[in-house]
Amino acid sequence: LRTSAEDLADQYPEMEVRGVVGDFLHDLNLVGNGDNRLFLFLAGTIGNLYPRQLATFLTSVRATLGDGDSFLIGLDLVKDTARLEAAYNDSAGVTAEFNLNALRVLNQRFGTNFEVDAFEHVALYDPEHDWIEMRLRARRPTSVSLGNARELRFEIGDEIRTEISRKFTQKSLVRELSGTGLELSAWFTDPEHLFASALVRPVFEDGSS
């Protein structure tokens, strides 16, 4: 983070760059004061939030925004199922390795003993919820020690959901914003309508934004 902040400061000397360590779900209060601020939340990270988490996050964003502030969100849009699933099952195995690494992290941080090679990466699109589900599926029977003499047993085909990646439409984003004190101000997409940037502004008590 420090290196990134220093690089940005070098590239844009006319700007003041300050790095803040925090969790965007809980630490928006760490953002400094100012007028006509633009908050950026790009790279589709918003798609990793479950509906209730997203509502809480958007409400906290609204509490942070003042008069003249805006919020720009990066979104991955709903598209052909085959295209979506291919993106999460890339031939180079990058996504699979990322997914399996979750087990290594659990082993390192919490002392579990997941056998990483006992699982395989699975990514499927759920059209009911408009999200990709990343899962780890047991390739063979395996067990994991959870401490306190507890053991979790996996049979062949048992799955762990590790992540979701939600896909949006303009209408679905408007629904998500409803009741959070935010409203869509502008919508930008690429020519193929694969991705979007949504400019969102706060709604005030008099109905203005």
pLDDT (mean) for 137-163 = 93
> Is 33-78+168-202 a CATH 1.10.10.10 domain?
no
Q: Domain segments of the chain: what residues? A: 33-78+168-202, 81-166
The pTM (predicted TM-score) of the whole model is 0.84
pLDDT (mean) for 73-100 = 95
Count Cα neighbours of 205 within 13 Å in the Cβ-side half-sphere: 0
Predicted confidence at residue 16, as pLDDT, reads 84
Predicted confidence at residue 197, as pLDDT, reads 97
| Phi, psi dihedral angles at 173 (to 5 degrees) | -65, -40
pLDDT (mean) for 192-206 = 90
Q: Are 42 and 74 in contact (CB under 8 A)?
A: yes
Q: Note the pLDDT tens digit of each residue in 24-35.
A: 888 888 887 778
| Residues 153, 143: Cα–Cα separation, whole Å | 4
Structure tokens at 23: 């969790």
